[in-house]
């Protein structure tokens, strides 16, 4: 079964107030990297607020192909925490948070950037934070602030940790609903589009029963420009039929495009046994090669 998001992360416009729901950390990092990448390419200032330290956040972006060093040096990219931005001593004030955002919007224009992109991991609202009940009001005021501007905000909610009532209370304040395009999802297997670097991501156990979903995912990935990365970092098993399907797709990719297979040694061995080394357009990378 194919599950579509309302909007792809690559479709977001300059004044969108988008709600991203994600189910696992890798999905969040992938979608955030695409949001950051497109913002940098568009000449926008990009800010990412998250639980991660700045060094860890930028390292995650770098391993997904983002040129973080030059962006950090020029001031175009900032990775930071919530304190002194959305929070003050673990207290949330909607007025302070919206004022901080308004200042960021004004500052980026004064610095010569075309606009602002802000990604916010909303997991701070799961902490014992004073004032967290103001969250729906915050989302409403952000929407009003962004309208007609060149600033966009991506609010990132973990759908496994936020309760449905909270998600419903903030949904109406967003212009777009964003999630990864998913081709197969059950307790054993997940096949979804990968945005940075472009390709697909496989997790769990993959066998012939999901061949149709895998074929569709590969077909859509090939339609995009550039190399295709198949990330299998968390794939525990792949059968011969599905491995051959991936290799056949790689054979049909016109040079100089490449098929990059990122996988664990046991999965890589299966591809080698099936002749991956004889296909000029394939690059096998270990799951920990970063």
* 220/151 Cα distance (integer angstroms): 30
Quick: pLDDT tens for 18-58: 999 998 899 999 999 999 999 999 999 999 999 999 999 99
Q: Which domains are delineated in the chain? A: 9-178 (3.40.50.300), 182-286 (3.30.750.24)
Quick: pLDDT tens for 117-174: 999 999 999 999 999 999 999 999 999 999 999 999 999 999 999 999 999 999 999 9
Q: Is the pLDDT of residue 263 over 80?
A: yes
pLDDT of residue 170: 95
pLDDT of residue 7: 82
Q: What's the burial of 148, exposed, middle or buried (CB within 10 Å: 0-12/13-18/19+)?
A: exposed
Pairing of strands 17-22, 176-178: parallel
pLDDT of residue 286: 86
Place 288 in a pLDDT band, splitting at 50, 70 and 90: low
Strand partners of residue 83: 87
Q: Is the pLDDT of residue 2 over 70?
A: no
Q: Is the pLDDT of residue 5 over 60?
A: no
pLDDT of residue 210: 97
Q: Is the pLDDT of residue 4 over 60?
A: no
Q: Is the pLDDT of residue 225 over 80?
A: yes
pTM value is 0.89
In percent, how much of the chain has pLDDT > 90?
93
Q: Share the mean pLDDT of the chain.
A: 94
Please give, one letter per residue, the 3-state secondary structure of the chain.
CCECCCECHHHCCCCCEEEEEECCHHHHHHHHHHHHHHHHHCCCEEEEECCCCHHHHHHHHHCCCCCHHHHHHHCCEEEECCECCCEECCEECHHHHHHHHHHHHHHHHHCCCCCEEEEEEHHHHHCCCECHHHHHHHHHHHHHHHCCCCEEEEEEEECCCCCHHHHHHHHCCCCEEECCCEEEECCCEEEEEEECCEEEEEEEEECHHHHHHHHHHHHHHHHCCCCEEEEEEEEEEECHHHHHHHHHHHHCCCCCCCEEEEECHHHHHHHHHCCHHHCCCEEEEECCCC
Quick: pLDDT tens for 83-124: 999 999 999 999 999 999 999 999 999 999 999 999 999 999
pLDDT of residue 270: 96
- 156 phi and psi angles, rounded to 5 deg: -110, 115
Q: Is the pLDDT of residue 287 over 90?
A: no
């Amino acid at each position: 079964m194919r599950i579509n998001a309302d909007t792809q992360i690559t479709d977001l416009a300059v004044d969108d107030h988008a709600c991203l729901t994600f189910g696992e950390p890798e999905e969040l990092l992938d979608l955030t990297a695409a949001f950051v990448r497109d913002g940098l390419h568009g000449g926008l200032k990009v800010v990412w607020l998250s639980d991660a330290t700045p060094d860890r956040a930028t390292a995650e972006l770098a391993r997904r192909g983002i040129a973080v060093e030059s962006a950090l040096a020029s001031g175009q990219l900032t990775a930071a925490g919530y304190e002194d931005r959305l929070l003050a001593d673990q207290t949330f004030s909607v007025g302070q948070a919206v004022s901080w955002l308004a200042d960021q919007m004004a500052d980026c224009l004064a610095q010569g950037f075309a606009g602002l992109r802000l990604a916010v991991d909303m997991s701070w609202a799961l902490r014992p934070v004073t004032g967290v009940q103001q969250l729906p009001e915050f989302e409403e005021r952000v929407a009003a602030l962004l309208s007609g501007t060149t600033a966009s905000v991506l609010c990132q909610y973990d759908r496994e940790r936020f309760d449905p009532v909270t998600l419903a209370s903030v949904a109406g304040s967003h212009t777009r609903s964003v999630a990864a395009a998913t081709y197969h999802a059950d307790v054993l297997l997940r096949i979804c589009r990968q945005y940075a670097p472009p390709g697909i991501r496989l997790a769990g156990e993959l066998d012939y029963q999901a061949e149709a979903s895998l074929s569709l995912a590969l077909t859509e990935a090939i339609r995009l420009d550039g190399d295709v990365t198949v990330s299998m970092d968390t794939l525990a098993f792949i059968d011969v039929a599905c491995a051959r399907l991936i290799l056949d797709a790689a054979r049909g990719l016109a040079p100089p495009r490449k098929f990059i297979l990122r996988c664990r040694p046991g999965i890589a061995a299966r591809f080698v046994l099936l002749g991956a080394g004889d296909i000029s357009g394939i690059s096998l990378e270990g799951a920990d090669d970063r």
